[in-house]
């Protein structure tokens, strides 16, 4: 009697382990921005082309298929935002995204001088992001915008200057002692 219960228990336990392993092995969609590259510089007024790649994802027209695509959990469309470089993911609004239905390169309108960020995210047909999100971003610049140095870099520069002053003073005193 106990032997049968034990075997049944082992069977049920192994079933849950196999199911959780298969679930963990589900392939997640991925997106990668190929162009522009990180910190690439464009001339003011130059046309910018966004090129990207997706893996484990099928593009589906969200207008004719408003619900998750049956039979393919990795189907949907991409959202694209071009924002100020300092914007965060939380700043992005769904309605302001450009909806992308293929991997055809995307031409952006000429832009004014500044630092920008392209954010792309794969979403399901009902505009819900995957979990974990399939997202890519890249920063680029147009023209020669001023370089922004953070306060922490100023502290580092000051620290290095103080160390150099101490070293120079030590060498001077050592030379005087001889």
- For residue 126, the domain's CATH number is 2.60.40.10
pLDDT at 91 (0 to 100)? 76
Asked if residue 100 is part of any domain, the answer here is yes
- Choose the most confident range, by mean pLDDT, from 26-30, 66-70, 115-119: 115-119
Asked if residue 75 is part of any domain, the answer here is yes
Half-sphere CA count of 118, side-chain side, radius 13 A: 28
- Domain hosting 99: range is 22-145
Asked if residue 41 is part of any domain, the answer here is yes
Q: Residue 59: how many CB atoms within 10 A of its CB?
A: 16
pLDDT at 72 (0 to 100)? 66
Alpha-carbon dihedral sign for residues 44, 136, 64, 90: negative
| Domains: count for the chain | 1
Task: Name the nearest CA neighbour of 27 among 76, 73, 71.
Answer: 73
Average the pLDDT over each of 17-26, 111-120, 161-170 and give the range with the smallest value. Answer: 17-26
Confidence of residue 104 (pLDDT cuts 50, 70, 90): very high
Instruction: Tell me: pLDDT of 175 over 90.
Output: no
Asked if residue 14 is part of any domain, the answer here is no
Asked if residue 151 is part of any domain, the answer here is no
The structure's pTM equals: 0.64
Asked if residue 122 is part of any domain, the answer here is yes
pLDDT in tens, 6-37: 454 544 445 554 444 444 446 889 999 999 99
Separation CA 159–CA 19 (nearest Å): 56
Confidence of residue 78 (pLDDT cuts 50, 70, 90): very high
Asked if residue 174 is part of any domain, the answer here is no
Asked if residue 1 is part of any domain, the answer here is no
């Amino acid at each position: 009697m106990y032997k049968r219960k034990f075997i049944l228990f082992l069977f049920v336990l192994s079933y849950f382990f196999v199911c959780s392993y298969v679930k963990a092995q589900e392939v997640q969609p991925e997106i990668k921005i190929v162009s522009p590259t990180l910190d690439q510089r464009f001339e003011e007024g130059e046309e910018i082309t966004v090129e990207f790649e997706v893996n484990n994802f099928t593009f589906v027209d969200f207008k004719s298929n408003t619900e998750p695509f049956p039979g393919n959990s990795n189907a949907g469309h991409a959202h694209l935002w071009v924002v100020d470089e300092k914007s965060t993911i939380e700043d992005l609004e769904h309605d302001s995204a450009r909806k992308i239905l293929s991997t055809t390169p995307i031409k952006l309108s000429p832009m004014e001088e500044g630092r920008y960020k392209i954010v792309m995210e794969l979403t399901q047909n009902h505009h819900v992001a995957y979990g974990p999100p399939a997202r890519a971003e890249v920063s680029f610049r147009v023209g020669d915008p001023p370089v922004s140095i953070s306060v922490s870099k100023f502290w580092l520069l000051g620290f290095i200057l103080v160390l150099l002053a101490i070293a120079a003073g030590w060498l001077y005193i050592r030379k005087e002692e001889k």
